[in-house]
Amino acid sequence: MLLRPYQRVLDTCEPYLIARPPVREGLDASPLGLDIPAANIFDPQRVAGSTFIQLVKHVDELAYGPVGLSMPAWVFYDCAVMPGAVFGFARRARHLESWARRALAVPDGYEGLVPVSIFICIPTVARSAALVYTLCSVNQIAPGAAPEGLWRLTLAAGTQAFRLTEMLATCQWRSPQLGLYAGLGPLRLQTAWTPAHDNPATCTFRVTADANGRERLLRGDLLGPEGIHRYIDADDTQAMRALQAEIESGVEVAVVGPAEIRGSDTRVPLQVGSDAEPITTEPGAGFTRRFQG
Amino acid sequence: MIHTSNDAILRDYGTFVVSTPANRPHLDAAPFGLDLRWDIDPTRLESATFLTLLQRLDALTFGPEGMPMDLWVFYDCAELPGFIYGFAIDAKRLTTHERVIFDLPPGYEGPVPLSMYIAIPMYEKGAWFGHNLASLNLTFPERRLYALGTITKAIALRAYKAERFFGATQWTSRALYIHTKFGVLDLHTTWTPAHSIPATLTYAFDVTEEKLRAAAGDPAIILERPEPDFHLDSEDTDGMQALQAQIEGGARFQLIGPPSVQAGRTLHPLRRAD
């Protein structure tokens, strides 16, 4: 039922996994009930599959290069497939139109899988949360190369493939990805202004990524206005610094929905927690259900 | 306490760790009895200068031909998931020349890193992957920081409570002289197309106190090393691919020691492990 609106994705894309055998054993091979075919599982320590892995790196570069966050090639091995794994969806090369094959640098004569989304997850020392540092869809760079909803489905299926309950991630305030993550539930901010990152206008957050969160994400639930305490201007760096100061002083703040955009203004809805009123977006606290691709 | 090949480093400099509040309780804050001097939380604004200096340390170590690590890689692939551990010095103890090399902000009086070891936890509990070892041994020769890199790695692995350690490096890399100080290395790949440079090996070893002490230079500990069955030339890509095919077929190989140079060729001593 939850996946019915995503039928076009399911009809044209197949899940894939890049993982070493010890990692693979611990993952869910049928996230959201979508079986990952054995032929779509690649061991990064084997030579076979290296063309597909190069295509994954290329999609990552196309998605993150333009915002100055290219992944150095060695990082993919050292910081993705060795400690964790890569999940996503792919299409058969022959099913891609020629313009899409060119956009994705598919080699001439290649008939195998072509990645159209990427979800990279690695453990943290604390193990209480896993870190997701890449989430992208080919629709960001070549709109129409895959059906709408791919980004959202990749996040939902990725969190289940990795059996996540708690996720740690970073995102730029102006990125539409922030709203996508917020579909899982409140993004509890760890930083609002991050000089440790190349783009300080980056936030760091933790979010519960359990079955309820995935259902919310897939439905596209949005929080009603009564659940929003205030907004932050996604272009106001002074406001980010002020929010960072609040967080460092112990205030609990969460992003509770996608940005609202009017003209050139982008504002992100926030909720401020307290002992009396913890942060929540559970139904009954003002949820409206509205599908958003 | 630990004896190293350069105990002056332990005496003259302090240690630091970069870790998030969630990860911090999992660190051994006094590895080999060496107390931590600086605790850096990457999620706080006050840490910004030090974290930038780590990027500078990386650039100084690997030089203009190296690929300086972007800040986001430090943040997303080191500070959030794992730890950065190393030796540092109070800024006020730096010479004017050293302050210029580091491009220190005027008035900065905090710690300045001289070495760092970055590792991130792997899916298997107790397993760690090391992805950056930087030291200013060669940049500041007058400080006599001999063996600083190896000592940093050995103590860091103890701090991280590593049980099984993995790394990847190129067959032509001088870093193999350091990595092999930790004993015999199990080879998981000898040809690695998933890496940016296929002529990369992936290795692993079980972390023991004896290996860490030996690598740090404790003269009382000498690791046993079996005789090699054969040697691999660091430029022999056909040989690397042939070994990789055997590994994928179930064979196991070990790198048993540092390379040697014979008639201008760099040769790695290997043995079959099955």
Interface residue A122 vs chain B (CB under 8 A) = yes
Task: Tell me the per-residue pLDDT of A160-217, one tens digit each, with 9 for 90 and over.
Answer: 999 999 999 999 999 999 999 999 999 999 999 999 999 999 999 999 999 999 999 9
The β-bridge relationship of strands B185-189 and B127-135 is unpaired
* DSSP conformation class of A292: -
Of A73, A168, A170, which is closest to B196 when you measure between CB atoms?
A: A73
A261 beta partners:
A266
Q: Do B81 and A44 touch (CB under 8 A)?
A: no
Contact partners, residue A87, CB within 8 Å, separation at least 6: A15, A16, A17, A18, A31, A119, A121, A154, A157, A158, A161, A162
CA trace torsion A281, A282, A285, A288 (10° rounding): 80
Q: Which of B47, B80, B237 should one mutate to test binding to chain A, selecting the residue with the greatest count of A CBs within 10 A?
A: B80
Of A70, A75, A197, which is closest to B75 when you measure between CB atoms?
A: A197
Q: Which of B19, B28, B74, B76 should one mutate to test binding to chain A, selecting the residue with the greatest count of A CBs within 10 A?
A: B76
Q: Do B26 and A125 touch (CB under 8 A)?
A: yes
Q: Do B71 and A196 touch (CB under 8 A)?
A: yes
Measured CA to CA, the distance from residue B160 to residue A255 in angstroms comes to 33
Interface residue A189 vs chain B (CB under 8 A) = no
Given a contact cutoff of 8 angstroms between Cβ atoms, the answer to whether B240 and B255 are in contact is no
**Chain B contacts of A50, Cβ < 8 Å?**
193-194
CA distance B101 to chain A (A): 21
Of A124, A241, A245, which is closest to B121 when you measure between CB atoms?
A: A124
Of B20, B48, B76, which is closest to A195 when you measure between CB atoms?
A: B48
pLDDT at B66: 62
Q: Does residue A292 carry a pLDDT above 60? A: no
Task: Tell me the per-residue pLDDT of A87-98, one tens digit each, with 9 for 90 and over.
Answer: 999 999 999 999
> Which residues 43-62 in chain B show a CB within 8 A of chain A?
43-45, 47-48, 51-52
Q: Does residue A286 carry a pLDDT above 60? A: no
> Which residues 151-180 in chain A show a CB within 8 A of chain B?
168, 170
CA distance A151 to chain B (A): 21
Interface residue B13 vs chain A (CB under 8 A) = no
Using CA coordinates, name the residue in chain B closest to A18.
B194
CA distance B142 to chain A (A): 31
Low-confidence ranges of chain B (pLDDT < 70): 64-67
pLDDT at A289: 43
Task: Tell me the per-residue pLDDT of A64-83, one tens digit each, with 9 for 90 and over.
Answer: 988 888 888 889 999 999 99
> Which residues 71-100 in chain B show a CB within 8 A of chain A?
71-77, 79-83
In the numeric block, which tokens belong to residue A223? 């929080």
Helix axes A150-161, A211-219, angle to 10 degrees: 170
**Chain B contacts of A85, Cβ < 8 Å?**
123
A173: closest CA among A123, A220, A241, A119? A241
Q: Do B194 and A126 touch (CB under 8 A)?
A: no
Q: Do A170 and B75 touch (CB under 8 A)?
A: yes
CA distance B246 to chain A (A): 11
Q: What is the pTM of this model?
A: 0.94
pLDDT tier for residue A285 given thresholds of 50, 70 and 90? very low
Residue with tokens 């870093």: B175
In the numeric block, which tokens belong to residue A191? 């930083």
Given a contact cutoff of 8 angstroms between Cβ atoms, the answer to whether B66 and B198 are in contact is no
Interface residue B168 vs chain A (CB under 8 A) = yes
Q: Do B200 and A77 touch (CB under 8 A)?
A: yes
Q: Which of A78, A168, A190, A248 should one mutate to test binding to chain B, selecting the residue with the greatest count of B CBs within 10 A?
A: A78
Task: Tell me the per-residue pLDDT of A224-281, one tens digit each, with 9 for 90 and over.
Answer: 778 899 999 999 999 999 999 999 999 999 999 999 999 999 999 999 987 667 776 6
- From first CA to last CA, the distance across chain B in angstroms is 37
Q: What would the 3-class secondary structure string for chain B be?
A: CCCCCCHHHHHHCEEEEECCCCCHHHCCCCHHHCCEEEEECCCCHHHHHHHHHHHHHHHHHHCCCCCCCCHHHHHHHHHCCCEEEEEEEEHHHCCHHHHHHHCCCCCCCCEEECEEEEEEECCCCCEEEEEEEEECCCCCHHHCCCCHHHHHHHHHHHHCCCCEEEEEEECCCCHHHHHHHHCCEEEEECCCCCCCCCCEEEEEEECCHHHHHHHHCCCCCCCCCCCCCEEEECCCHHHHHHHHHHHHCCCCEEECCCCEEECCEEEEEEEECC
Measured CA to CA, the distance from residue A288 to residue B244 in angstroms comes to 55
> Hey, CA dihedral for B11, B14, B19, B22, is it positive or negative?
positive
The residue-averaged pLDDT of A45-67 equals 93
